[in-house]
A and B are shown apart, each in its own frame.
Chain A
Amino acid sequence: MALTFAASSHAVVRKVSPRGRAVRRSLTGWAFAGPATVLVVGLSLFPAIWAFFISRARWNGISPGVPVGWSNYQRLATDPDMLAAARHTLLLTVLFVPSSIILGIVVAIALNQRIRLIGFYRTCIFVPYVASAAATGILAGFVFNPQFGAANDVLRHLGIPQQQFLESPTQALFVICLIALWGEVGFCTVIYLAALQDIPRELVEAATMDGASRWRVFRHITLPELRPVTVFTAVWQTITAVQLFDLIYTTTRGGPLNSTQTVVYYIYELAFQTQRLGYGAAAAYLLFAVTLMLTVGIIWYSRRRGSEVF
């Protein structure tokens, strides 16, 4: 108590003006928030704005850039490589997002049962999420090896002809989608599991008492309750699919015959293999705009549909 009195009387003697105190408070606040704010803004907002200026120039990063206006964007619209990359990214997204959502819901419902071994099942299904995409890609190259891989061994047991998998231009993108699902379903499952456990038990019990079948409970209680989470996972998984890079780099590097070259992989090649920085930045901005529209679209659509999930 004595200490408190001493401190407060000291403050009265000093007579700090209210304005001085506000300045001091701001300084303290910025001392706390400043370092992280400067880092985050300096490493995201600032480069994002700079990227826009780069996208309006022809530049190899060494000699001075030449301003070219919107012509990088115009050339992208007719660039056959860009169009092929966009097609691959779209196909990957259309395959990956619904599959990961449906699998996530099914696996989460299965893992929500009170049965034996459930802890073991959960650990097994979540653990691939922790493995890096680079390691997953290298491992996939082994499992899907056409000569001695385990995947072909399984097909042999089922009596299905041997496949080329990642070495076939018609199959590679589908195999990559499968590998991406293996790595990401754990994440979706965790999200849905948490959402399932948040559903009020009384709701299900009341419906069962009223004679609703298990299917009807699922269709009219569980699914609507999962709706907000589904909007989130749809957005999240769309971003994951659009930005997929590590897995492609460690499996096919865009091949065979460019059949797995996605937009992000194309941007990487433009900027860091062929040093076309302006053109690469323009492609990056285009992809950003499309992703943003997709995200807004998903959220808008889900709001409009009201209580329906699918």
Chain B
Amino acid sequence: MRRWLPFSPWHLLLMPLALLFVLPLVQMVLTSFMSSAEINQFPPKLFPTSLHLEGYRALLTETPALRWFGNTVLVSTVAVLAHLVLCSMAGYGFARLKFAGRGLAFLVIVATVMIPIQLLMIPTYLMFARLGIVDTLASAFVPWLASAFGIFLMRQFFLALPVELEEAARIDGCGTWRTFWSIVLPLARPALATLAVFTLLSSWNDLLWPLIAISDDNRFTLQVGLANFQGMRRTEWSQLMAGNVLATAPLILAFLFAQRKFIATMTFSGLKG
């Protein structure tokens, strides 16, 4: 290629694009450290004159934001752990064990992927109301305990594992459970990591379902709490941005540290189709 620039022309496309994607997030973090007076200026400033912590202080004292954060951590932790245990067990069952009804059960599970959330929200709410768990944290994590995607992912992984290792374990006297727990599961670490990232992203960022299921302030997840808080105080931007930082920073930091794993997860959730 002819060199008409001292650098690759791709930079002319990528640099503005990269800034367009990342600058709003930078502005979010910087605005959370501004005073209200600084925020309400036009033209807007990107950098605060000094570090103002009013936004964070007001958010943490005037709203139960810390509690919402704790709720989200709890919901996501339960979701990830349950997903890892239940989906890997089911995936192993569907991949390796022979039992009556296996084919039909797996077919039904795969078919449920087609059912959208808006169809499920009304009956699921009614079902949870009858079980008496509406307005509890359980209602936020029960839908995330297992998923068709998780079962499918783990099954595909186990199908690709060579079966000889398990046969050797069987001959040495290991039962099904011990073979699974101490031989197969340690080999499944990459798939388990993908599953954990997927579940963390979906459960941490979920808004629609907990918005429907929970109406008590103290039991909100962080996303619901913020959306609700924004509805009441549209102009408290430093507090809103502080809340946004609280809601996005953990996942963004996790993404920066484990970028490869996140991208592998996105790729897998795409290429299964």
Contact = CB atoms under 8 A, between A and B. Distances in A.
Interface of A: 3-4, 7, 22, 25-37, 39-41, 43-48, 50-51, 54, 61, 106-107, 110-111, 113, 115-118, 120-121, 123-135, 137-143, 147-150, 152-153, 156, 182, 185-187, 190-191, 194, 229, 232-233, 235-236, 239, 242-243, 245-246, 249-250, 253, 263-264, 267-268, 271-272, 277, 280-281, 284-285, 287-288, 291-292
B78 to A, nearest CB: 13
Question: What is the predominant secondary structure among interface residues of chain A facing chain B?
Answer: helix
Interface residues of B, number: 103
B123 A191 contact: no
B169 to A, nearest CB: 12
Interface in B214-273: 223, 226-227, 230-231, 234, 237, 240-241, 243-244, 247-248, 251-252, 254-256, 259, 262-263, 266-267, 270-271, 273
A131 B21 CA distance: 12
B116 A288 contact: yes
Contact of B115 (A48, A137, A268): A48
Given A132-B247, A138-B244, A44 B207 contact: no
Given A32-B90, A242-B116, A249-B208, 5 more contacts: A30-B101, A33-B97, A132-B207, A150-B44, A246-B223
A260 B61 CA distance: 34
Given A39-B145, A285-B119, A4 B227 contact: no
A125 B21 contact: yes
A41 B24 CA distance: 40
17 contacts: A32-B92, A34-B90, A40-B151, A44-B120, A106-B13, A121-B17, A127-B256, A128-B21, A128-B22, A130-B255, A138-B226, A138-B244, A139-B241, A182-B21, A232-B271, A249-B208, A249-B211
Contact of A135 (B41, B101, B143, B247): B247
Nearest to A231: B273
Contact of B172 (A4, A61, A153, A281): A4
Interface of B: 7-8, 10-11, 13-15, 17-22, 24-25, 27-28, 31, 39-44, 86-87, 89-90, 92-94, 97-102, 105, 108-109, 111-112, 114-127, 129, 142-143, 145-148, 150-151, 171-173, 176, 180, 201, 204-205, 207-208, 211-212, 223, 226-227, 230-231, 234, 237, 240-241, 243-244, 247-248, 251-252, 254-256, 259, 262-263, 266-267, 270-271, 273
Contact of B90 (A35, A118, A253): A35
A139 B266 CA distance: 24
Given A28-B97, A110-B10, A36 B86 contact: yes
